[in-house]
Amino acid sequence: MSEIVKTEAVVLSKMDYRDSSSILTLYTKDYGKISVIHKGARSPKSKKGFIAEPLNHLQIIIYRKDSRDLQLLSSADLISHFPHIKEDLDKLKYSLAILELVKNLTPEGEENTKLFNSLTRILFLLDSSDEGPKVTFGRFFLFFLKEIGYEIQLKKCSSCQNNLMNGDNLGYNSELGIFCSQCSGNFRIDFKLSQELFNYLLCLKQNKKADSFKNFTSDRAIVFMEKHLKFHVPDFKGIISFHTIK
């Protein structure tokens, strides 16, 4: 028997289903990632089909049953549609990259209120903040890696355990972590981190201002985090949104 539940959700993706319905992938506050069918959403008579679009933050009611993979969406009310994101291609690109990470790398039906709150907050910041969207995305990416169990350790050298704060020419081994300049020569190095790149990552982690760093540095940080994730999740081939929106 189905239960009627009410929760908040962010629409991660949407696809057409049959003549007039849609299948949505949602990240919800109380149930994590779920898939729902929105019957009649594409009907000309539907007044709410346009509400359930990717990026939108909704209040939803669903008929939920544990034994089925596809839940039934009963109603949806708009909390926010983040208009400034949708008017700016750069903000849109990084916002869709966030949705892509959450959709592809989180388990079905596993509640994570912290991740949900961070998702809605980062979309709000992308919509309203003057910070560069690439920097805001970097903050979320670094947090997300930790949340899914693949945190990048930035405190100490993986070999000698000395503090990395004052190091330069740091080396990263995909399997072992980051090494100080003195220890790097003793291990295979898969990625070199300049002092500026390391400092930038620290600013992201500590939620400090990071707009003063070079554009090249913020690009390298994303490449580094993608490389880290590819090693730990072999099925992850990189963020597709970066290549579909120019």
The reply to whether 99 and 150 lie within a common domain is yes
Token readout for 105 is 């790398």
Q: In what order do the strands lie in the sheet with 170-173?
A: 177-179, 170-173, 191-193
| Mean of per-residue pLDDT scores for the chain | 92
CB within 8 A of 67, min separation 6: which ones? none
Selected residue with higher pLDDT from 6 and 45:
6
Lowest mean pLDDT among 10-19, 42-51, 131-140, 211-220: 42-51
Segment 12-16 shows an average pLDDT of 93
The reply to whether 87 and 181 lie within a common domain is yes
Tens of pLDDT, residue by residue over 60-113, are: 999 998 888 899 999 999 999 999 999 999 999 999 999 999 999 999 999 999
The reply to whether 74 and 92 lie within a common domain is no
Q: What does the pLDDT read at residue 161?
A: 92
Q: Quick check: 167 pLDDT over 70?
A: no
The reply to whether 128 and 234 lie within a common domain is yes
Segment 204-232 shows an average pLDDT of 95
CB 179, CB 173: distance < 8 Å: yes
Q: What is the number of domains present in the chain?
A: 2
Token readout for 39 is 């019957």
Q: What does the pLDDT read at residue 21?
A: 83
Selected residue with higher pLDDT from 18 and 199:
199
Distance CA 227, CA 167 (A): 22
Q: Quick check: 168 pLDDT over 80?
A: no
Which of 48, 80, 112 finishes a domain?
80
- Range of 210's domain? 83-244
Which of 80, 107, 129 finishes a domain?
80
Q: What does the pLDDT read at residue 246?
A: 58
Angstrom distances, CA of residue 106 to CA of 71, 150, 244: 18, 12, 22
Q: How confident is the model at residue 242 (pLDDT cuts 50, 70, 90)?
A: confident
CB 60, CB 76: distance < 8 Å: yes
Q: What does the pLDDT read at residue 93?
A: 96
Q: What does the pLDDT read at residue 166?
A: 65
The reply to whether 145 and 223 lie within a common domain is yes
The reply to whether 38 and 97 lie within a common domain is no
Which of 52, 80, 108 finishes a domain?
80
Q: What does the pLDDT read at residue 210?
A: 93
Q: How confident is the model at residue 157 (pLDDT cuts 50, 70, 90)?
A: very high
Segment 26-54 shows an average pLDDT of 85
